């Protein structure tokens, strides 16, 4: 279970869908039985001591009324597309529930930065830009081949890596039907490899919880 500070206070916690009910029980034990409110993002838990927890539904999970429906919605298997991109590496996959059923990783050399100056630096920069464009073009071709034919079966497309790289790939007009399924969630992943793609399935399905503790007593 990952945790990170949240802007504006509190912390974000990533909870596996199968552990949501247990997590809520722990929240209740610590802060008292909460009231449950349905919100556009999912559920809001408000505890008697003032602590709150916003449970944000994962991509493509249906709206739910109450905790029981929410747990059922987030644990239900969904077929989602995955697109991870950074520089010269891309990973494309399809997950059915927790299982990665389609996967392909492609890498292409992209030159690193150089300390040289003047014309030499500009030449290296142009070469690097051309290598990056070629790599992202290959990534678009890969997505066209593996994901576009499956668009009608996908509930969402979850992306990860470098936002600019992902945006560039999805700007390809051939990927318009896929881009229409793109979820807001952007996974923070290292350079795509098969193991990274496999781990992205859990990250794409996780429930994001914004926890804010009660204000300290005066």
Residue 70 has pLDDT above 50, yes or no: yes
* pLDDT tens for each residue of 9-37: 899 999 999 999 999 999 999 999 999 99
Q: Which CATH architecture has domain 80-203?
A: 2-Layer Sandwich (3.30)
Quick one: pLDDT at residue 111? 43
The per-residue pLDDT for range 77-124, each reduced to its tens digit, is 999 999 999 877 889 999 999 999 999 998 753 445 544 544 455 554
pLDDT (mean) for 182-209? 95
pLDDT of residue 86: 85
Q: How far apart are CA 157 and CA 185, in angstroms?
A: 9
Instruction: Give CA separation, 23 vs 9, 12, 36, 183, 206, in Å.
Output: 20, 13, 14, 25, 13
pLDDT interval class at 61 (50, 70, 90): very high
- Read off the pLDDT of residues 149-177 as tens digits, 9 standing for 90 and up: 999 999 999 999 999 999 999 999 999 99
Q: Where are the domains of the chain?
A: 3-77+206-212, 80-203
- b (16+ CB within 10 A) / e for 183-195: bebebebebbeee
H or E segment and range at residue 196: helix 194-205
| Percent over 90 (pLDDT), the chain | 71
Tell me the two tokens of residue 182. 């793109």
If you ran DSSP here, which 8-state letter would residue 8 be given? T
Confidence of residue 133 (pLDDT cuts 50, 70, 90): low
Q: What one-character-per-residue DSSP string does 72-131 give?
A: HHHHS--EEEEEEEETTEEEEEEEETTEEEEEEEEE----------HHHHHHHHHHHHHH
Pick 51 or 137 by higher pLDDT.
Answer: 51
């Amino acid at each position: 279970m990952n945790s990170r500070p949240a802007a504006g206070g509190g912390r974000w916690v990533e909870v596996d869908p199968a552990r949501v009910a247990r997590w809520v029980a722990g929240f209740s034990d610590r802060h008292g039985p909460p009231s449950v409110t349905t919100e556009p993002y999912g559920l809001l838990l408000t505890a008697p001591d003032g602590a709150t927890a916003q449970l944000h539904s994962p991509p493509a999970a249906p709206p739910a009324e109450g905790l029981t429906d929410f747990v059922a919605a987030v644990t239900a298997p969904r077929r989602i597309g995955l697109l991870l991109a950074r520089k010269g590496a891309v990973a494309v996959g399809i997950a059915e529930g927790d299982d990665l059923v389609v996967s392909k990783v492609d890498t292409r050399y992209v030159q690193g930065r150089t300390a040289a100056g003047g014309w030499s630096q500009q030449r290296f920069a142009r070469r690097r830009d051309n290598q990056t464009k070629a790599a992202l073009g290959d990534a678009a071709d890969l997505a066209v081949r593996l994901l576009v034919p499956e668009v009608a079966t996908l509930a969402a497309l979850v992306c990860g890596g470098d936002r600019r790289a992902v945006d560039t790939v999805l700007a390809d007009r051939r990927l318009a039907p896929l881009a229409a399924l793109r979820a807001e969630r952007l996974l923070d992943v290292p350079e795509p490899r098969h193991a990274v793609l496999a781990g992205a399935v859990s990250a794409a399905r996780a429930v994001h919880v914004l926890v804010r503790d009660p204000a300290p007593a005066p």
